[in-house]
Amino acid sequence: MSFINTFRDLSARNLHILKTQPIAEISGSLGDLGTFLPIAIALSINGTISLSSTLVFSGIANILTGLFFGIPLPVQPMKAIAAVAIANAFTNGEIAAAGIFVAACIFVFSVTGLLRWFADVIPIPVVKGIQVGAGLSLIIAAGSSLSKLGWVTPSWTDNRIWAIIAFLFLLTTNYYRQIPYALVVLAVGLVFAIITATQGRDLPNFRPWIPVLTVPSDGDWRVGVVQAGVGQLPLTTLNSVIAVVHLAGDLLPEVTTPSITSVGLSVSIMNLVSCWFGAMPVCHGSGGLAAQYRFGSRSGSSIVFLGVLKLLIGLFFGNTLVGLLKLFPYALLGIMVIAAGLELASVGESLNTTGARDLRKDMPAGILGDREREIGPVLSDDERKKRYTVMFVTIGFLVGFKNDAVGFIAGMLCHWSFQIPDYLHSRRREGRIRLTE
């Protein structure tokens, strides 16, 4: 009964927000396309995935996610798997094996409680370090690609001038948040892509989706799991489950935050079904949530809208869209990725304030700041410095090695190193107590 009541409350909130701010919800739903489209297009061109299946299954996942979680939780590519698959021209079976392996591991972690335990023992400075590091990684990756653009090349629709215009427009929305930035940019980009595709006679056409089963062979399992799956597992655990749950609580405190277990099960079920049909392995990522929030999403209705759009396009056009989508100007997509990275990186600012859930949880009642705002426990300068150090060590190693697992391990080692003096002091104190007894 409680599940039904929760679902009813979330549905009512989704409808209310959609009615009160429909443009913002639609704009926000498009916020993560800067990450989704380039990876999906690259894998489709290589023949590694079916774009039709990817759109259909990710659309269904979007719809269910929006309905049952009630927040703009993204459905985005598993980036580590995608990077390896693009670099090594994976087959359908190899990328399917990698996605199924990660999904099966996350499923086991979720049902056994290991995922919940893992989330409980990770200190907040490390979690925020992973979030900020992921944001900076998005900015660096987008900046690297944008730097390859010329002032008027590679085309009149995609160049450095358009990137500057898109960035200045983004800065304008810092003051005028009601402007549907993602919707405007997507519309302009599609117009440019359609004009270019018309000249090259590469427009999409009607082609109904026909599901085709993809069964990985023994060789596919060996390649997919070893080369891509193992590397994706820590990224999915840390950024796509734990960090995204923490971020949801930070950005949308008025909504019941999904549990670690439910998000883990969502990631696993999506891929345990879709990867068998040639779809791209997907997950929920903190970068996508930050992007959709930045561009206006505040409820699950935005994700339901995006899911319906993906589903219809995948069912009736699918793979014929590749030619059009690859003409979408990266000058515009890249700035959208940078905006998402900036929004995600900004969560580090709340490390030593009540925005950090460990401080909020331990806050004594009655401690209020200006305008009756809770300011939480007063941290000493030494405590603040330690927390910042742990966060920046996590960020530095994550960005420097381009690996979430390396950043996580470095951050945890730094955190434990600060605990050693307290541990030794407590051991000596226990020894003195035993001697006096």
What is the overall mean pLDDT for the chain? 85
Q: Which range in 101-105, 114-118, 184-188, 331-335 is most confidently predicted, on average pLDDT? A: 101-105
Pick from 70, 59, 69, 74: nearest CA to 315: 59
Domain for residue 354, yes or no?
no
- Distance (Å, whole) CA 45 – CA 161: 27
Domains: count for the chain: 1
Report pLDDT for 435: 53
- Distance (Å, whole) CA 107 – CA 267: 8
Residue 373 has pLDDT above 50, yes or no: no
Instruction: Determine the average pLDDT of the residues in 412-428.
Output: 81
Report pLDDT for 432: 63
Instruction: Determine the average pLDDT of the residues in 398-414.
Output: 86
Instruction: Determine the average pLDDT of the residues in 329-358.
Output: 80
Residue 293 has which token pair? 């929030």
Domain for residue 432, yes or no?
no
Domain for residue 243, yes or no?
yes
Residue 87 has pLDDT above 80, yes or no: no
Report pLDDT for 431: 61
Burial class (CB in 10 A: 0-12, 13-18, 19+), 280: buried
pLDDT band at 137 (very low <50, low <70, confident <90, very high): confident
pLDDT tens digits along 44-66 = 888 899 999 999 999 999 999 99
Report pLDDT for 367: 45
Residue 141 has pLDDT above 80, yes or no: yes
Burial class (CB in 10 A: 0-12, 13-18, 19+), 420: exposed
- Distance (Å, whole) CA 117 – CA 277: 33
Domain for residue 365, yes or no?
no
Domain for residue 262, yes or no?
yes
Which residues sit opposite 76 in a β-bridge?
283
Residue 376 has which token pair? 């939480």
- Distance (Å, whole) CA 194 – CA 345: 34
Instruction: Determine the average pLDDT of the residues in 174-189.
Output: 86
* Under 8 Å between Cβ of 41 and 58: no
Q: What phi-psi label fits residue 176: left (phi over 0), alpha (psi between -120 and 50 degrees) or beta?
A: beta
> E strands along 246-312, which residues?
282-283
How many CA atoms within 13 Å lie on the side-chain side of 306? 34
Domain for residue 216, yes or no?
yes
DSSP code string of 262-276: HHHHHHHHHHHHHGG
Q: How far is CA 92 from CA 51, 227, 275, 315, 320, in A?
A: 12, 14, 9, 20, 18
- Distance (Å, whole) CA 33 – CA 22: 19
Domain boundaries, position 218: 1-347+381-424
- Distance (Å, whole) CA 156 – CA 360: 51
Instruction: Determine the average pLDDT of the residues in 181-207.
Output: 86
Report pLDDT for 101: 95
Domain for residue 118, yes or no?
yes
Report pLDDT for 360: 61
Tokens 């969560």 belong to 347
Q: What phi-psi label fits residue 374: left (phi over 0), alpha (psi between -120 and 50 degrees) or beta?
A: beta
- Distance (Å, whole) CA 272 – CA 218: 18
Instruction: Determine the average pLDDT of the residues in 98-115.
Output: 94
